[in-house]
Amino acid sequence: MPNILIIEDDAAFCQMLQKFLIRNGYDTEISFTAPDAKEKIKNTNFDLVLTDLRLPDYDGIQLLSYIKEINPTIPVILMTGYAEVGSAVNAMKKGAFDYISKPFTPDEVVMVIKNALKSKSEAQDLSDNIEERAITASEKTTTPQPTASIGKGNTVQGISEASKKLEEYIKLVAPTDMSVLITGESGTGKEVTAKAIHDSSKRRDFNFIAVDCGAIPKELATSEFFGHIKGSFTGAIEDKIGNFEAANGGTLFLDEVGNLSYENQIQLLRALQERKIKRVGSTKEITVDLRIITATNEDLTEAVEKGTFREDLFHRLNEFSIEIPSLEERFEDLTLFADYFLNKANLDLDKNIKSFSNEVWDIFRRYHWPGNLRELQNVIKRAVLLSTGDKVEADALPREVSNAENTGSKSSENLSKSEFEKEQILKALKKTNFNKSKAAKLLQVTRKTLYNRINHYNLDL
């Protein structure tokens, strides 16, 4: 069994990748820091190293040199962001076998690993191929920088770091059958994310059933989930299939799961444990095979501490968690989402509005979007309906949006990468009352990475 070392400072992503590779027959160890990785490489004979090019405590090229110094024959695969492709090419000239750009699918990383291990097993001299691979990699760098594309389910794939991290998690967890808990502010697109997971899974040819738990009366929840037979209660005039049966083979998405009553939580837990249900009024057990994805904008850990949400159910639903970033956290994607919603509104309303005026763009950039993507979509649809020319003008926007105070921050177009990153760090710190652990979680980085960036920018906190 090939032995692989994964070096990645994002602990959740690293552990998820480890589980996937173990299921695919690889013996896998993980390191979150370069010093720990160096120690493991010194003491263990790995068949392959899969490492992030950007580590918070060490330069990726230096780490590659160290690995090659210890074991020149070991294949090293680099995980890179879009902006790091040039560095990846340089690393390949220094002995890396290949690189893979984030976000990547599990199938892509397995293919690259198989190629690397095959090359090693055939005792090929990697140096003979470095120049050819470097030329291929250089050609990849001529590809235009990524723009938003429309993925499955007509979703926008953003270019911000937060959006790319979200896409990584979706692609990695989708092929598994793990239960996923999606958290995030209202309007961030939790159901869209759940559907994207389903569409990329092996269950994509079966039903995706979405249920709003907040809209189901407590008394009807059992019937909604498990169905009923005719005459089982007043109003049951015919047999009814419940959501569990309807989603059999596919995915059941439970939105606002924190709104379920304690009694309904017990029923849900039992169904998930036994994978069997009974329709209301029936004694016949029905076996179901489905995946559960849940979502909430509440803090379920607090609900567990208060005793309003069962801890055993929480752990059953939270095999893997994904936090959807707010629109403010992926501000680089604002123009992409706006253009997407403009095209969608044109189709829905049979209009042909071509763009937004410069004044509208300025308003969009200084508004804080508390309702996130849902609010942005609603604002644009209303504006398209009211517009008579070929552009959306400021007078078509709701008063609360157009009259929003200018916070004094520069638009994302005028910010350099470092300025933008610094501004995002300060926003996250202010939003969390300067709690660095919470700010790191908001930014989707480790605490160590956040501290390093604070020191890098000399932020006086």
Which stretches of 200-251 are DSSP H helices? 221-226, 243-246
- Window from 173-187, 343-357, 404-418 with minimum mean pLDDT: 404-418
Task: Decide if pLDDT at 129 tops 50.
Answer: no
Q: What SS3 state is found at 53?
A: coil
Task: Quick: pLDDT tens for 336-353.
Answer: 999 999 999 999 999 999
DSSP class per residue in 433-449:
TT-HHHHHHHHTS-HHH
Assessment of whether the complete model's pTM goes beyond 0.85: no
286: left (phi over 0), alpha (psi -120 to 50) or beta: beta
Confidence of residue 89 (pLDDT cuts 50, 70, 90): low
Q: What SS3 state is found at 234?
A: coil
Going by C-alpha positions, the residue among 215, 204, 170, 439 that lies closest to residue 329 is 439
Q: Which residue has the higher pLDDT, 456 or 381?
A: 381
d(CA 432, CA 325): 14
Confidence of residue 247 (pLDDT cuts 50, 70, 90): very high
d(CA 274, CA 288): 9
Q: What is the pLDDT at residue 140?
A: 43
Residue 384's contacts (CB-CB under 8 Å, 6 or more residues apart) are: 342, 345, 346, 349, 351, 353, 392, 396
- 90-96 long-range CB contacts below 8 Å, 24 or more apart? 90/61, 91/53, 91/60, 91/61, 91/64, 92/130, 92/133, 92/134, 92/137, 93/130, 93/134, 94/61, 94/64, 94/65, 94/68, 95/64, 95/65, 95/68, 95/126, 95/127, 95/130, 96/64
Q: How far apart are the first and last CA of the chain?
A: 49
Task: Quick: pLDDT tens for 13-37.
Answer: 888 888 889 888 899 999 988 889 9
Using only C-alpha atoms, the chain has a radius of gyration, in whole angstroms, of 25
The burial of 240, by beta-carbon neighbours within 10 Å (0-12 exposed, 13-18 middle, 19 or more buried), is given as middle
Task: Decide if pLDDT at 64 tops 80.
Answer: yes
295 φ/ψ angles, rounded to the nearest 5 degrees: -145, 150
Query: Which domains, from first to last, does the chain contain?
Result: 3-141 (3.40.50.2300), 169-323 (3.40.50.300), 331-402 (1.10.8.60), 415-456 (1.10.10.60)
Q: Which residue has the higher pLDDT, 253 or 68?
A: 253
- Window from 113-122, 160-169, 244-253, 294-303 with minimum mean pLDDT: 113-122
Average pLDDT value for the chain: 83
Q: Do the Cβ atoms of 281 and 236 come closer than 8 Å?
A: yes
d(CA 100, CA 281): 54
Task: Decide if pLDDT at 232 tops 50.
Answer: yes
Confidence of residue 389 (pLDDT cuts 50, 70, 90): very high
Q: Do the Cβ atoms of 8 and 14 come closer than 8 Å?
A: yes
Q: Do the Cβ atoms of 203 and 291 come closer than 8 Å?
A: yes
**Buried-state track 102-128, b at ≥16 Cβ within 10 A, e below 16:** bbbbbeebeebbeebbebbeeeeebee
Q: Do the Cβ atoms of 119 and 97 come closer than 8 Å?
A: yes
Task: Quick: pLDDT tens for 369-384.
Answer: 988 999 999 999 999 9
- Which helix (H) or strand (E) segment holds residue 193: the answer is helix 190-199
Q: Which residue has the higher pLDDT, 73 or 271?
A: 271
Q: What is the pLDDT at residue 144?
A: 34
Q: What SS3 state is found at 330?
A: coil
Task: Decide if pLDDT at 123 tops 60.
Answer: no
Q: Which residue has the higher pLDDT, 292 or 155?
A: 292
